[in-house]
Amino acid sequence: MGPYGRHLPAYRRVMNPARVTAAIAVLVATVLPGPRADAAPPAHYVALGDSYTSAPLVPPVAPGSPPQCGRSASNYPHVLAGALRVALTDVSCGGATVGHFSKAQYNDLPPQFDALSADTTLVSVGIGGNDNNLFASVVAGCGPATLLLLTGSLAPCRDTFGDKFAKGIAADEVNLRAALREIHRRAAHARVLVVGYPNILPTDAFGRAGCVLAGVPFTPGDMAYVDAIERALNAMLARAAKAEHAVFVDTYTPSVGHDMCRLPGTRWIEPLLPLSPAAQFHPNAAGEAATAADLHRALGHA
């Protein structure tokens, strides 16, 4: 979830940005229809968030973006802004937490809230996976825990950590709600969308067995445990959105069946060894386009 800028030159050498952009344009035209004639699209869209929003290593790189943020011109804010034909200010950045909305993540990077103004009419918020190092702690703690299978446990990570992650997620809700109130204060006329996280691991026994065969370092029992952690995070985001008069966008349900253990061309999340240009355990271009479609529907477009 951290900075990925050092990897970007290699991907620019192997990927043709013009061809990638053309392919995304075709996908957008297919998945996202243009604005309805009777709809008044927002005039200025500000995208706040972490690496699931910025889309590190998904080509092409957004012009003028800080390299440490891994911001892609094919991420869901850019795809959505193109479909709505509105101005976009994308300040998403890999590794961001709710705290980086109000304080600088890097010395030369303003707080994300600085992009908001009275003229902002649409805000998307994709955050939460980095708070308390949630995703990093799950990956680091649960992968090696498979070694505990020698003790006979079918879900060693669950047995080791129990409800630790769920408690951390619940404690973070107060911070997200405060951030949403601040967004409303700074951009009083904006529609605010809180974007959930897509399905990362299979939800069925067959898919989990395939993950094990593919070398994913979780037992099937722990895949269910990690999936429950992600669903708890999304549930917290939904509660906070409802409480603070924002709209929660469910990206998990539409993405079931497109997890990182599916075949290339079907999956929207790349695994430990990506075969499509994207950071490991992060959405690829198809995943970003799918999230843009979810937001498009949430705004009332068929």
Measure the CA–CA gap between 205 and 131, rounded to whole angstroms: 30
Of 93, 183, 170, 91, which Cα lies nearest the Cα of 134?
170
Tokens 């939800």 belong to residue: 203
- Looking at the chain, how many residues does it have? 302
Amino acid of residue 106: Y
51 in active site? yes
Which residue in the list 51, 54, 65, 74 is annotated as catalytic?
A: 51
Which backbone phi and psi does 159 adopt, to 5 degrees?
-70, -30
Q: Would residue 296 show up in a list of annotated catalytic residues for this protein?
A: no
Quote the CA–CA distance of 122 and 128 in Å, as a whole number: 20
Quick one: CA dihedral 73, 278, 105, 236, positive or negative? positive
- Bridge partners of 122, per DSSP, are 45, 191
Rounded to whole angstroms, how far apart are CA atoms 61 and 43?
24
DSSP summary character for residue 122: E
Catalytic residue among 44, 78, 258, 282: 282
Positions marked active-site: 51, 282
